[in-house]
Amino acid sequence: MAVLETIAIAFWAMLPAYVPNNAAVLAGGGRPIDGGRTWGEKRVLGNGKTWRGTAIGVTAGLALAAALTLLAEDVSSLLGFTVPEFSPSAALGLAGGAMLGDILASFLKRRSGRERGAMFPGLDQLDFVVVSLPLTALLATDWFREWFTLEVILVVVVLTPILHVTTNMIAYKLGLKNEPW
C-alpha cells in the first residue's frame, strides 16, 4: 500500500514535467530556437527544438499544474492520502526544467554528431528529470523537500523511462512522432 502511495505521488508530482515534451511534439514547428546557427560542423540545437514547441510545452505544463492543484483536495480524499498542490514556482521548475532538459539533450546530441531524431538511450528517457528536479529544488525548495523524498525520487527514476518509452511508442504508432523514442 505504501508503495502504491509513493508511486501515485511520484506520478502526480511529475505530471507537469511529463506533459511539456508531449505537447511540444503536437505543437512543434516554425522557427528553430538556434535560428539555424551551427557550432562547429553541426547545428547548435537543430530543427527539432522550436520556439512554438517550447512555449506551448511550458504553457501546457503550467496549465496542468494549475488544474491538478484545483483537483488535489478531492483526489486526496478519494485516495485516502494527500497528493501535492503545485505552487507557481514548483510548476515552473517542473515544466520549464523539462523543456530545458530536452533542449540541453539536443545540444549534447548535436555535439556528439547525432542528427535530429537520432536515438540517445538513457538521455532520451531521463533528460527532463535530470534538469526539472534540480531546478524545482532550486525554485521551490520547501515544496521539493516535502514531496520529493528519496523514495519518490527512486520511483521517478524507474517510472519515467517506462512511461517515456510507452508514450513515445503510442505517439509513433499514431503518426504523431517520426521515431518511436
**146 CA to centre of own chain:** 20
DSSP per position, 96-111: HHHHHHHHHHHHHHHH
- Binding segment for ligand CTP (CB under 6 A), chosen from 1-9, 34-42, 43-51, 76-84, is 43-51
Q: Which residue has the cell 534538469?
A: 131
Torsions phi, psi of 40, nearest 5?
70, -135
The smaller minimum CB distance to ligand CTP, of residues 103 and 140, is found at 103
Does residue 50 touch ligand CTP according to CB under 6 A?
A: yes
**56 CA to centre of own chain:** 13
Bridge partners, 39 (sequence order): 42
Out of K ion, ligand CTP, none, what residue 117 binds, judged by CB under 5 to 8 A for its kind, is ligand CTP
The single residue among 17, 18, 34, 53 that binds ligand CTP, judged by CB under 6 A, is: 53
Least Å from the CB of residue 154 to ligand CTP: 25
Bridge partners, 43 (sequence order): 38
Does residue 28 touch ligand CTP according to CB under 6 A?
A: yes
Chain residues in the site for ligand CTP (CB under 6 A): 24-25, 28-29, 46, 48-50, 53-54, 57, 99, 102-103, 106, 109, 116-118
